Amino acid sequence: MDKIAIEGPTRLRGTVEVSGAKNSALPIMAATLLTDEKCVIKRVPPLRDVNTMIKILRNLGVKVQVEPGRLVIEPKGYKNYIAPYKYVKEMRASFCVLGPILAKHRKAQVSYPGGCAIGNRPVDLHLKGIRALGADLKIEHGYVVGETRQLKGAHVYLGGAFGSSVLATDNVMMAATLAKGRTVIENAACEPEVVDLADFLNKMGAKIKGAGTHFIEIEGVKRLDGAEAEVIPDRIEAGTFMVAAAITGGDITVKGARFDHLGALVDKLQDSGVTITRHGKDIRVRVQRQLRPVDITTLPYPGFPTDLQAQMMALMTTINGISVITEKIYPDRYMHVSELARMGAQIKLEGDSAIVKGVKQLSGAPVMASDLRASAALVLAGMAARGRTDVSRVYHLDRGYDKIENKLSQLGANIHREREE
């Protein structure tokens, strides 16, 4: 098993390029199950989660050709309708194959999903939405077993206890493309990744309107064709590098990021005193003065993303003063707090909020990643800390960041990967 070793403190300088968004690539890969024709997906990041989805597709009988910077997927003739536990347990996004398989074959058997341990993440909205389209779904031996004579359009309300669900919106939207009649998804997720998926489905011949709003309309069609897609830039990776510049007092340019996808983060970093300038498709992030603490509440897009909460917490631990971070998406997503405390951070949990009192200097320590974004936060804290930090369980990191240690090293970080003893 690998670990990431960091010697700090360091100041990042230079230019880094953003990869394609994994949270966009994964459902687009699942969407290819809706057609018999070849699909080409460009700018797919070479990540562990992507490899897991490739395994699922191949297990179903789909031909997947991996080429530099793109995937060529040929689903023609796939007959298997079972997505097994050994693959689906590795990541939550794999549950997105349920809707496409059911719509195409009218039967499906998909294991309950796995992924990061960031609190309770039920699939009830997925099941509610697909049942509304006329599917008979049962839970048997840890699998969702579904069948239908014909999916039919319906009005589906996808409101959950903590707002809309991106993956449930994706799943229902994909299933509805081949349903008979009109489907309306109310309280749909508005994230850019949902829009990217809808754009790809429309290229395949689907009739989808309203993606990016809380009301999505889908008029079912009889068949979908093959199509090409280029995955949008990963806004969470871009945001992680932007916070990395701030926590190290650095000056970096993030190439290829979508400024319009990062509004909430830009707002909070600017409130903290970070200088952010836009240069075409690039974003420059500089620290030119002493930073201030800010309060943050995570919310569905376009609110502050939960996937950047841990990274911002790491930043706040280094800024003099008190900040309050409130998690409204996954209230239990604070497993990184105890690890940051090992580095000298002062954080107190009260309900769904974390009260952070900045310290003069974090100190390097051996820490353990609990989930994907927590691991990124610990790497960022390690670059700001004095001394050596070893981040173990970095397989979490590899699920969502393409060789992050190499990119940070090119920006001047003293960081490398090594085998754990």
Positions marked active-site = 116
How far, in Å, are 16, 259, 333, 410, 416 from residue 405 at the CA level?
A: 12, 24, 24, 9, 6
Report residue 320 as tokens: 């003099």
Residue 87 and residue 115 in contact, taking contact as beta carbons nearer than 8 Å: no
Q: Strands 353-357, 322-327: parallel, antiparallel or unpaired by DSSP?
A: antiparallel
Q: What is the DSSP letter of 360?
A: S
Residue keyed to tokens 């990395």:
244
Sheet with 251-255, side-by-side order of all strands: 13-17, 251-255, 282-286, 275-279
- Counting DSSP H helices and E strands in the chain, the numbers are 14, 24
Letter for the amino acid at 58? R
63 contact partners, CB below 8 Å, separation of at least 6:
73, 74, 75, 76
Residue 313 and residue 354 in contact, taking contact as beta carbons nearer than 8 Å: yes
Residue 275 β-bridge partners: 286
Report residue 77 as tokens: 């003739």
**How far is Cα 286 from Cα 337, in angstroms, rounded to an integer?**
26
Instruction: State the greatest distance between any 2 C-alpha atoms of the chain, in Å, as a whole number.
Output: 64
Task: Outline where 61-191 has alpha helix (H).
Answer: 85-88, 98-105, 124-132, 166-176
Kind and range of the H or E run holding 309: helix 309-316
Report residue 5 as tokens: 């070793």
**How far is Cα 87 from Cα 114, in angstroms, rounded to an integer?**
9
Per-position DSSP letters for 217-271, written without gaps between them: EEE--S-----EEEPPB-HHHHHHHHHHHHHTT-EEEEET--GGG-HHHHHHHHH
**How far is Cα 373 from Cα 394, in angstroms, rounded to an integer?**
11
Distance of CA 358 to the CA centre of its chain: 28
**How far is Cα 73 from Cα 57, in angstroms, rounded to an integer?**
9
